[in-house]
Amino acid sequence: MSGSDRTATVRKQPMDAETKTVLAMLLPAIIALYGVYQAIVQVLQPAQIMALDPANKVHDVAMLSLIESVVGTIILPVGAAISDRTRSRLGRRAPWLLFSAAGIALSSVMMGLSSTIALMMVTAGCVFLFANWFQGVIYAVIPDRIPQRNRGVASSITGLGLPLGILIFVNLAARTSRLGGYTITGLAILVVAILFVVITKEKPSYDLVRPQGRNGGEAFSIKSVGRFFSAFTHRDFTMAFLSRFAFFFAFFGIASYTFYILSDYVGKSHIPGGDVATGVATLSTISTVAQILAILVFGKLADHFDRRKAVVALSAIVYMIGFIVPLLFPTWIGMVIYSAVSGAAAGVYFAVDIAVMSLVLPTKENEGRDLGILAIATSIPAAVAPLIGSGLIGATGSYVPLFVFGIAMALLGGIFAFLIRSIR
């Protein structure tokens, strides 16, 4: 059945009240989650590093990003797996949503209070451990509680969570004190988690069968690990993963250094008001608005014409153009144009990415696990891209290679998407 046929079938099915409630609460949960990630990465962390260790700021960003993302990559599937095995009156997911959100809130405040880079490394690792734990569990709610016919809507909500999280929380972080920014983002996700658990009450999980290996002691064997990642034996799943992987490489390669691109490449004196943090927030707002509009428009067009590969090609070309602009015009206006163009291109891609992810999951019974694995395609680039960026900046003494790197990754993202055979 083609993507358009599936979409038509989905539209014929009414959405029940419980599903509507879960979807309504899923959106603020995802927004708050990405708000934590992006407020820290784009504003709070680089500003704090600049205040503590300005001479080594690029290296420090790379090392913190490595710690955050290695921790995140490990805990993403593990956190979801732990919740799979939880049996409680509150259900499988609710206890861990509350636990991880409380961990985010506490460690965010501790990160804001950190007075050395070493302390930042420890507290940042804690923040991202709990944030990725929360992500793994909240993603598992989708196959648990959202009928298959409504998964497209759920995917759209998760896709909008990133730009809306940036729009709201990056602006908040840029306009408050350092500790205030960390505290607001941490408390926001705790409040949202409590509301999610209370409003979307999960059924007790005592009677659910516990997942386990074929034999009782096989849970951590090599064979069980192979089965855990068995989705990669499906070609289209792998191509979709690699496409997402490359696009997030392009995204994080620039996002991690936007603060320093403005202060060093463009120059603080050339930023309106001379405030770098506000400049980052302004660019993020421009990019986010363009991204949201693109998701809303091109998501519908891709479904209507059932030509997702053509939309991917368009996004790759526009994304590359966006990265070229700051190379030719290293000015504030050049960065504004870059933010608008790259934001729109990312929105075009993510509109298709959401649909593609839902169509390449190999098996119904492992949709939650495989969605968690696909989420790793964001955490690994978040770890490695800043390291590559640091090496490029250190080797050349310039931020120019970052934009060239973005061009190459955007192109690869488009190529891998075209290699998916089951999607037109």
Which run of H or of E encompasses 301?
helix 276-305
For the chain, give the mean pLDDT: 81
Residue 117's pLDDT band, with cuts at 50, 70 and 90, is very high
What tokens were used for 191? 């409040």
pLDDT at 8: 47
Written as six digits, the tokens of 5 are 């046929």
Token pair of 280 as six digits = 């980052």
CB 97 within 8 A of CB 193: yes
Query: CA 336, CA 330: separation in Å to the nearest integer?
Result: 11
- Position 109 scores a pLDDT of 96
Cα–Cα distance between 167 and 32 in angstroms, integer?
11
Among 57-61, 127-131, 239-243, 354-358, the range with the most confident prediction by mean pLDDT is 127-131
Residue 299 — pLDDT band, cuts 50, 70, 90? low
Q: What percent of the chain has pLDDT over 70?
A: 83
Residue 165 to residue 322: CA distance in whole angstroms: 22
268: DSSP letter: G
The mean per-residue pLDDT over the stretch 10-18 comes to 66
- Structural domains in the chain? 16-202 (1.20.1250.20), 232-424 (1.20.1250.20)
**What is the pLDDT, as a whole number, of residue 10?**
45
Which of the four pLDDT bands, split at 50, 70 and 90, describes residue 49?
very high
- As a whole number, mean pLDDT of residues 70-84 equals 80
Residue 196 has pLDDT above 80, yes or no: yes
Q: Is 264 helix (H, G, I), strand (E, B) or coil?
A: helix
Task: State mean pLDDT over 43-49.
Answer: 90
pLDDT at 217 over 50: no
pLDDT tens-place string over residues 358-398: 677 676 556 556 766 777 777 778 777 877 888 888 888 88
CA-closest candidate to residue 353, choices 408, 403, 305, 294: 294
pLDDT (average), residues 35-39: 89
| Structure tokens that stand for 44 in this block | 């709070």
How far apart are alpha carbons 129 and 125 in whole angstroms? 6
Angle at CA of residue 236, ends 232 and 237, nearest 5°: 40
CA-nearest of 187, 89, 93 to 137 is 93
Q: Look at phi and psi of residue 273 and say left if phi exceeds 0, alpha if psi is from -120 to 50, else beta.
A: left
Distance CA 72, CA 288 (A): 24
Q: What is the pLDDT of residues 20-36, one digit of tens each?
A: 888 889 999 999 998 99
DSSP string, 331-351: SHHHHHHHHHHHHHHHHHHHH
pLDDT number for residue 83: 81
The Cα 174–Cα 181 span in angstroms is: 8
Indicate if the pLDDT at residue 1 is higher than 60. Answer: no
Confidence of residue 355 (pLDDT cuts 50, 70, 90): low
